Amino acid sequence: MTDARIVYLNGEYLPSDKAALSPMDRGFLFGQSAYEVTAVYARKMIDFDRHMVRLARTLEALDIPNPMTYHEWETAHQALIARNHLDEGLVYVQVSGGAYGVRDFAGPEQFTPTVFMFAAETRLIGDNARLGVAAITVEDTRWQRRDLKTTQLVSQTMAYRAARQAGAKTAIMIENGVVTEAASANVWIVDTDGRLQTRRLSQAILPGITRAALIDAINDKRTPLSDSPDPIECVEQTFDVAALLSAREVFTSSAGAMIVPIVSVDGVTIGDGLPGPVTRRLQAFYYDYVGADPDSLDWLSL
């Protein structure tokens, strides 16, 4: 991922090295801030509407006023894409409770938010999607409102560090023996009966935008995922570590990495150690959905 060149801070577009946040900002002091990451492919924002709905929901839960209208958010995103000549990558948004010159837990009666945004060039469809990655499991130590997309990410950062130290790419988080989600993605398995499973929504997991797009497509009879001789059956339910390790296929979904096959977990090979046919079908669908050409990716052939 390349560094942002032009960023947005409280209504101004300026070089990233000129942007300065107050050390008294509530995002810095307390982690009281929401964020969103929207994928961009061929200069097109992917599922922007869903990202804005989730941002508004998180801000309301944090008692932070939404500082922009939908149109203003859209304009700012498009301006960053244009100013940074971004063709493929991500636009990051962070909205905090603002800065008031004091460290006060409760803060003022009404917050004046700080808004920070940047665009980063990164390859969304690369080797991880083609080859799959190794994962480890870690205990889920996060707070209880994981359905809110906040910057309280210390557990996730430590999970990624543990994965790197173990020679893996990501970590799958476990609570009381069951899978919650990956360090920054939702987790899916194809179970021993061939059914696709992902955990149902609750306060225990983030309502992923890519997750929602995939479930909508699987349930929509007009898409090739369901309107075919071999439709995909998807169930939303919890599954434990044993089901994870015995699964035919495992993959994660997120805006920043789209669909990434998991080929081993804690050193245990998943399936035959290669991305499986259901994962490949979903990748082909989703790449077409975002405007990529699946036919140009010979490794998607089943």
pTM over 0.75: yes
DSSP characters over the chain: -PPPSEEEETTEEEEGGG----TTBHHHHH--EEEEEEEEETTEESSHHHHHHHHHHHHHHTT----S-HHHHHHHHHHHHHHTT-SEEEEEEEEE--B-SS--SS--SS---EEEEEEEE--SSSHHHHH-EEEEEEE----S-TTS-BS--HHHHHHHHHHHHTT-SEEEEEETTEEEEETTBEEEEE-TTS-EEEPPPSTTS---HHHHHHHHHHH-TTSTTTSSSSPPPEEE---BHHHHHH-SEEEEEETTTEEEEEEEETTEEPTTSS--HHHHHHHHHHHHHHT--GGG-GGG--
**Each residue of 135-152: pLDDT tens digit?**
999 999 999 999 999 999
Confidence bin at 223 (pLDDT 50/70/90): confident
Class of domain 6-121: alpha beta
Question: What CA–CA distance (Å, rounded) separates 68 from 65?
Answer: 9
**Each residue of 92-128: pLDDT tens digit?**
999 999 999 999 999 999 999 999 999 999 999 999 9
Class of domain 127-295: alpha beta
Question: Are 207 and 61 spatial neighbours (Cβ–Cβ below 8 Å)?
Answer: no
pLDDT for residue 302 is more than 70: no
Give the long-range contacts of residues 214-218, CB within 8 A, separation 24 or more. 214/253, 214/259, 214/282, 214/285, 214/286, 217/285, 217/286, 217/289
Identify residue 35 by its one-letter amino acid code.
Answer: Y
Judge whether 6-121 and 127-295 match in fold. no
Q: What was the pLDDT predicted at 1?
A: 63
Mean pLDDT of 46-54: 98
Question: Are 238 and 152 spatial neighbours (Cβ–Cβ below 8 Å)?
Answer: no
Confidence bin at 222 (pLDDT 50/70/90): confident
Domain residue extents for the chain: 6-121, 127-295
26 closest CA partner among 92, 93, 105? 105
**Each residue of 227-251: pLDDT tens digit?**
777 889 999 999 999 999 999 999 9
Confidence bin at 89 (pLDDT 50/70/90): very high
**Each residue of 179-201: pLDDT tens digit?**
999 999 999 999 999 999 999 99
